[in-house]
């Protein structure tokens, strides 16, 4: 998150020591810290390949940089290979010296040397501090007890995973982005999890009360317990159990506790060597990312550009790019921006940009579990909050960055339709360069346009160069538009996918509209109605149907688990998912004979049919995306996919109740 700059933060002058061709002579470049921002610097550095520099990275952890953004997904997977951003051989292949597992103990600014804990000395001409941040441990008695964890590193991840294997209950302290994601990961491990938030709502720093309440309701529907206004005063231990004591005299007993209440910049090395730091921590730097010592730079979460602290990755990536360009001789500067804060949980997107809780006039649109809010300051966009729908997020971010005024008719249109603009005005080629096209990776339109001008003329080439479209793929129609195509590229296996979806739609219609198959009136050796009258056949078809449905539900997890993202062909996996849906409908006929049933069974049948229908519509849109306008294809795909995902949650509950009622009664 972004915090206001301290009042005493000085404006450090911009030195010309690097810009203007200083890279031409031999220089020793040392970087302390090796997280995501450090790795991004290496990637940008290798693209520029400035001559005469030798880059050395000194890392505290014994493994190369890994993906902290998807750290929660690693709770269910042993090892860290799926999170690794690049193997050690990649750094060696690009001439980067990587020293792992040896933290820096001291910086000697006078002699321009750093000394590690193992006593090794590295001399530098330029030093980069990329020490990141540490998880904030709440200052309450008992915070250091066994069974109380923070959530930041692979070591933390391993400890939490080991404890979760035997724990029945857990508490996560913090109802923000990291806390909610950690809680969801623990719940997926089978641990009953409570989310404890000191404020009176989840994500209270980003959301208004109504959006916070909607998020809380959605989070509870996934099985998480939520306690807000819950201030922890102490933690005590009784046997193997931990007890949290709250200010209002309530208490909660759990097996383990995870603190996810924010991060603090790591500036201990900077303080020790006399660099200027902020009142609340962090290394003060200017637009050139120089500290108070022109030979020392800071990037990422340890840095405070003009006194501002950013607690997430996107600004750090921008800093890494700017510093790499400056060290290569360019006059790049870090220009602060309003970065979207995004939570993706249980099929629900929550995006906030700017300060939605500030002073001004609040415009609200609400419909069917979706809530959009725009804060206007003297008629200009100053804050945006989107719950359940990310439509127009790129244009709204641009409007906020430019402090654009919303006219009275645009305000009226937003309140009525949820969008200030007509759909035809959403051409991605007209977006400002700073607008994020790929929300998953934060790749901007400007970066994509530069890659296109450099020779990346296809969607595949743009994705390979920038990383856009490599996670969920929903932005690929926009990439096609940037490549000059009026349509999206044809999806893999588009024709068989389309036919499968059409079959699914026909079977769903048959289940809904055709009368039940009549009972057999013959006394033949085999009567087809025994499929839904005989207990053995009924159980057999029921369990086959259950297995097919579970397998179909598990297949989409491939793109959420980084270890599986590159396994097989995504188009083939998608086709298999749809084929399983059709096969499930066929088995459903043998299980019910086109009978919808009554009461709970009828609700279950309607849920399964609606789930199949929305999945078929989503697949059909993907199969026809090359015949649709890119923007329309994107929003149709995201809309049907979101509805399809939301319907899976009641299905699981209804199936469990159905099984219980069959065997209990």
User: Which of 321-330, 439-448, 563-572, 581-590 is predicted most confidently?
Assistant: 321-330
Q: What's residue 98's pLDDT?
A: 94
Kindly tell me if the per-residue pLDDT of 133 is higher than 60: yes
Domain CATH for 243: 3.50.50.60
Q: Domain check: are 503 and 641 in the same one?
A: yes
pLDDT in tens, 32-42: 999 999 999 99
Sign (positive or negative) of CA dihedral 411, 412, 414, 415: positive
Long-range contacts of 577-583 (CB under 8 A, 24+ apart): 577/552, 577/615, 578/497, 578/500, 578/501, 578/504, 578/615, 578/616, 578/619, 579/500, 580/548, 580/551, 580/552, 580/555, 581/504, 581/552, 581/612, 581/615, 581/616, 582/500, 582/503, 582/504, 582/507, 583/548
Domain assignment of residue 20, yes or no: no
pLDDT in tens, 481-492: 777 654 455 555
Tokens of 121: 């000395």
Q: Domain check: are 631 and 510 in the same one?
A: yes
Q: Domain check: are 254 and 226 in the same one?
A: yes
Between CA 300 and CA 307, with CA 302 as vertex, the angle to 5 degrees is 95
CA distance 95 to 56: 9
Q: Domain check: are 178 and 250 in the same one?
A: yes
Domain assignment of residue 2, yes or no: no
Domain assignment of residue 4, yes or no: no
pLDDT in tens, 603-653: 877 878 888 888 888 888 877 766 666 656 666 777 777 787 787 778 777
Mean pLDDT along residues 540-552: 78
Q: Domain check: are 248 and 293 in the same one?
A: no
Confidence class for position 155, pLDDT limits 50, 70, 90: confident
Q: What's residue 172's pLDDT?
A: 94
Q: Domain check: are 361 and 348 in the same one?
A: yes
Tokens of 346: 């249980």
CA distance 635 to 244: 45
In total, the chain counts a number of residues equal to 665
pTM, full prediction = 0.65
560 vs 650: which has the higher pLDDT: 650
Q: What's residue 235's pLDDT?
A: 94
Tokens of 88: 């050690």
Number of structural domains the chain divides into: 4
Q: What's residue 530's pLDDT?
A: 61
Domain assignment of residue 301, yes or no: yes
Domain assignment of residue 488, yes or no: no
Q: Domain check: are 296 and 258 in the same one?
A: no
Confidence class for position 598, pLDDT limits 50, 70, 90: low
Contact 129, 297 (CB under 8 A): yes
Lowest mean pLDDT among 1-5, 176-180, 576-580, 616-620: 1-5
Domain assignment of residue 12, yes or no: no
Mean pLDDT along residues 493-502: 80
CA distance 199 to 179: 13
Q: Domain check: are 127 and 140 in the same one?
A: no
236 vs 391: which has the higher pLDDT: 236
Kindly tell me if the per-residue pLDDT of 202 is higher than 50: yes
Q: What's residue 210's pLDDT?
A: 86
Kindly tell me if the per-residue pLDDT of 524 is higher than 70: no
Mean pLDDT along residues 400-425: 82
Q: Domain check: are 591 and 655 in the same one?
A: yes
Range of the domain at 466: 340-483
504 vs 323: which has the higher pLDDT: 323
Q: Domain check: are 507 and 615 in the same one?
A: yes
How many CB atoms neighbour CB 233 within 10 A? 14
Q: Domain check: are 404 and 509 in the same one?
A: no
pLDDT in tens, 333-359: 998 777 777 776 655 678 888 888 888
Q: Domain check: are 404 and 284 in the same one?
A: no
Confidence class for position 579, pLDDT limits 50, 70, 90: confident
Q: How many angstroms separate the Cα of 30 from the Cα of each of 75, 266, 443, 555?
A: 33, 18, 27, 44
Q: What's residue 145's pLDDT?
A: 93
Kindly tell me if the per-residue pLDDT of 147 is higher than 80: yes
Q: What's residue 594's pLDDT?
A: 67
Domain CATH for 384: 3.30.390.30
What average pLDDT does the chain have?
80
Domain assignment of residue 15, yes or no: no
Confidence class for position 168, pLDDT limits 50, 70, 90: very high
> For a pLDDT cut of 70, what percent of the chain falls above it?
80
Show which of 217, 232, 262 is a domain's final residue. 262
Contact 501, 578 (CB under 8 A): yes
CA distance 596 to 609: 10
Q: What's residue 304's pLDDT?
A: 93
Lowest mean pLDDT among 143-152, 190-199, 200-209, 553-562: 553-562
pLDDT in tens, 7-66: 344 456 666 555 444 443 458 999 999 999 999 999 989 888 777 889 999 999 999 998
Show which of 243, 262, 281 is a domain's final residue. 262
Kindly tell me if the per-residue pLDDT of 3 is higher than 50: no
123 vs 187: which has the higher pLDDT: 123
Domain assignment of residue 5, yes or no: no
């Amino acid at each position: 998150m972004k915090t206001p700059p301290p009042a005493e933060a000085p404006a450090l002058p911009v030195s010309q020591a690097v810009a203007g061709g200083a890279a031409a002579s031999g220089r020793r470049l040392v970087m302390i810290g090796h997280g995501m921002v450090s790795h991004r610097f290496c990637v940008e550095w290798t693209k520029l390949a400035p001559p005469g520099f030798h880059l050395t990275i000194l890392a505290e952890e014994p493994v190369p940089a890994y993906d902290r953004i998807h750290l929660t997904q690693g709770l269910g997977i042993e090892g860290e290979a799926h999170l690794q951003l690049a193997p050690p051989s990649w750094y060696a292949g690009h001439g980067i010296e990587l020293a792992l597992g040896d933290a820096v103990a001291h910086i000697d600014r006078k002699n321009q040397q750093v000394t590690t804990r193992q006593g090794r000395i590295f001399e530098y001409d330029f030093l980069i501090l990329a020490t990141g941040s540490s998880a904030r441990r709440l200052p309450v008695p008992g915070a250091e007890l066994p069974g109380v964890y923070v959530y930041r590193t692979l070591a933390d991840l391993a400890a939490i995973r080991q404890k979760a294997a035997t724990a029945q209950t857990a508490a996560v302290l913090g109802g923000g982005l990291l806390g909610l994601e950690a809680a969801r990961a623990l719940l997926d491990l089978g641990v009953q999890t409570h989310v404890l938030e000191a404020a009176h709502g989840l994500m209270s720093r980003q959301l208004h009360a109504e959006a916070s309440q909607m998020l809380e309701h959605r989070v509870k529907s996934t099985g998480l317990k939520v306690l807000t206004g819950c201030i922890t005063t102490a933690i005590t231990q009784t046997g193997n159990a931990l007890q949290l004591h709250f200010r209002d005299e309530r208490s909660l007993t759990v097996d383990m506790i995870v603190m996810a209440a924010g991060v603090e910049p790591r500036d201990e090395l900077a303080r020790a060597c006399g660099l200027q730091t902020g009142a609340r921590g962090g290394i003060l730097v200017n637009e050139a990312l120089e500290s108070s010592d022109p030979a020392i730079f800071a990037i990422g979460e340890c840095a405070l550009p003009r006194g501002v602290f950013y607690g997430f990755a996107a600004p750090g990536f921008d800093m890494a790019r700017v510093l790499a360009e400056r060290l290569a001789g360019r006059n790049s500067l870090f220009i602060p921006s309003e970065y979207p804060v995004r939570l993706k949980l249980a099929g629900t997107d929550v995006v906030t940009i700017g300060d939605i809780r500030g002073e001004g006039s609040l415009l609200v649109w609400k419909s069917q579990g979706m809530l959009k809010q725009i804060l206007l300051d003297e008629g200009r966009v100053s804050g945006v909050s989107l719950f359940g729908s990310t439509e127009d997020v790129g244009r709204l971010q641009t409007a906020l960055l430019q402090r654009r005024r919303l006219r009275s008719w645009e305000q009226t249109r937003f309140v009525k339709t949820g969008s200030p603009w007509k759909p035809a005005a959403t051409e991605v080629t007209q977006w400002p360069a700073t607008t994020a096209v790929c929300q998953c990776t934060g790749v901007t339109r400007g970066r994509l346009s530069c890659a296109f001008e450099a020779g990346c003329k296809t969607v595949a080439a743009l994705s390979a160069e920038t990383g856009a479209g490599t996670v969920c793929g929903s932005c690929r129609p926009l990439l096609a538009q940037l490549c000059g195509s009026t349509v999206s590229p044809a999806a893999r296996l588009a024709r068989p996918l389309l036919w499968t979806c059409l079959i699914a739609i026909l079977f769903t219609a048959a289940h809904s509209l055709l009368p039940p198959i009549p009972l057999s009136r013959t006394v033949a050796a085999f009567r087809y109605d025994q499929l839904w009258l005989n207990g053995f056949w009924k159980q057999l078809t029921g369990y086959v149907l259950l297995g097919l449905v579970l397998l179909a539900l598990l297949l989409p997890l491939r793109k959420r688990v980084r270890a599986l993202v590159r396994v097989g062909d995504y188009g083939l996996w998608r086709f298999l998912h749809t084929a399983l849906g059709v096969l499930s409908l066929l088995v459903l006929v043998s299980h019910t004979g086109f009978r919808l049933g009554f009461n709970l069974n009828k609700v279950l049948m309607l849920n399964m049919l609606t789930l199949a229908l929305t999945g078929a519509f989503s697949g059909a849109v993907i199969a026809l995306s090359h015949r649709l306008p890119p923007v329309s294809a994107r929003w149709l795909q995201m809309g049907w996919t979101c509805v399809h995902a939301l319907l899976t949650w009641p299905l699981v509950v209804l199936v469990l109740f159905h099984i219980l009622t069959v065997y209990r009664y």
